[in-house]
Structure 1
Amino acid sequence: MDGMHRFHPQFEHAFSISIALTKPYWIKPSARGDTRAAIYAASGTVEGPRLSGRVVPMSGGDFPLLRPDGVIDFDARYLIEADDGAIIYLQNRGYRWARSPDIAERMARNEPVAHEDYYMRVSPSFDAPAGPHDWLARHVFVGVAEKTPNANCIHYFVVL
């Protein structure tokens, strides 16, 4: 079993995306009996050692499902425009949940909370044009997100 260390993944910070969000639109309850929302990516910036650019305003957003157990199940899709003009499609799937009911209520009211008071992780995939950004479509990433009022900042790490 000691040889397993060579299979432990290594992570490298690739970039971070800061996104300003619109107000949420709620479907509650949906026909499924759960609560669904639509929240659009109003604007944003992409900054990091491996990718820089911007979120294309209103090119998409998140359509999360709020489960009865308090977990938010993300399904976000939007476009990034790299500094060189390349357009990149991003899809994020992931989860957010609060570590206590009090924290969940504060987050529902869009109040700031400490990063350690909640779990928010995403697993993105990318469609990128051939050329300098096609590495995005050949790697696995993990995103660790920060929730702030009316915004998210997601730090993306490429799995090496």
Structure 2
Amino acid sequence: MAETNPAMPPVPALERAFEVDAELGVLQDHGTTRAGHRRVIPIIGGTIRGAVEGRILPGGADWQLVRPDGTIDIDGRYSARTADGALIYLHAVGVRSGPPEVLEALLRGDPVDPADYYFRAVVTIESSAHPEFERSLFLASYVREANRVRYVAYRVT
């Protein structure tokens, strides 16, 4: 019997989808907990532009764990109201890493070239009004500034 050649899976590509500009509150340093060095950064507002348009609502946050080497595990969760009035929930899980002096500069709020550190996350969206966003994963590349975080999200095809 002849061997069959199974089809190869498609190679994913990235398709620019939307941009987020999130305004941040004051960092809350919880110190070392049973999970590790916990920090919480409130998300107090902002905008989303592109395939989805809207305003980020206050009340979300980025729940961070700082590893011993300074790398930060990102767990951002926040809501937005779209231009058509619907609510969407965004969840970003990722990592920020770089040389210790660069991470310290970011923590102080100093301007840092985004090429000097690594800051990426996978973003998922929940929305009863816009289920088309629930059918994809988004990969985001970030820039951290003193009082805000900006990212561009790409739909993984």
State the TM-score, normalizing by the size of structure 2: 0.90
Which position in structure 2 is the counterpart of 1:53?
54
Structure 1 residue 22 corresponds to structure 2 residue 15 = no
Post-superposition, which runs of at least 4 consecutive aligned residues in structure 1 deviate over 2 A? none
- For residues 69 and 43 of structure 2, what CA distance do their matches in structure 1 show? 26
- For residues 25 and 59 of structure 1, what CA distance do their matches in structure 2 show? 14
Equivalent pairs counted in the alignment come to 151
- For residues 46 and 34 of structure 2, what CA distance do their matches in structure 1 show? 32
Q: Structure 1 or 2: larger strand share? A: 2
Which position in structure 2 is the counterpart of 1:149?
146
Letter aligned with residue 37 of structure 2: T
Name structure 1 gaps, 5 residues minimum.
Answer: none
Structure 1 residue 87 corresponds to structure 2 residue 87 = yes
- For residues 71 and 29 of structure 2, what CA distance do their matches in structure 1 show? 16
Name structure 2 gaps, 5 residues minimum.
Answer: 1-6
Letter aligned with residue 23 of structure 2: A
Following superposition, the deviation at residue 16 of structure 1 comes to 0.5
Whichever of the two has the greater Rg, that structure is 2
Matches within 5 A, 1:1-160: 7-32=10-35, 34-48=36-50, 50-56=51-57, 58-98=58-98, 100-130=99-129, 133-160=130-157
Describe the SS at the equivalent of 1:88.
strand
Describe the SS at the equivalent of 2:110.
coil
Letter aligned with residue 40 of structure 2: A
1:11-67 alpha-carbon deviations (Å, 9 max, x no partner): 1111101001001111112234x210111111100011x1111101x2211110011
Following superposition, the deviation at residue 124 of structure 1 comes to 1.2
- For residues 92 and 117 of structure 2, what CA distance do their matches in structure 1 show? 18
Describe the SS at the equivalent of 1:149.
coil
- For residues 87 and 107 of structure 2, what CA distance do their matches in structure 1 show? 33
Following superposition, the deviation at residue 101 of structure 1 comes to 2.1
Letter aligned with residue 145 of structure 2: T
Following superposition, the deviation at residue 95 of structure 1 comes to 0.3
Describe the SS at the equivalent of 1:29.
strand
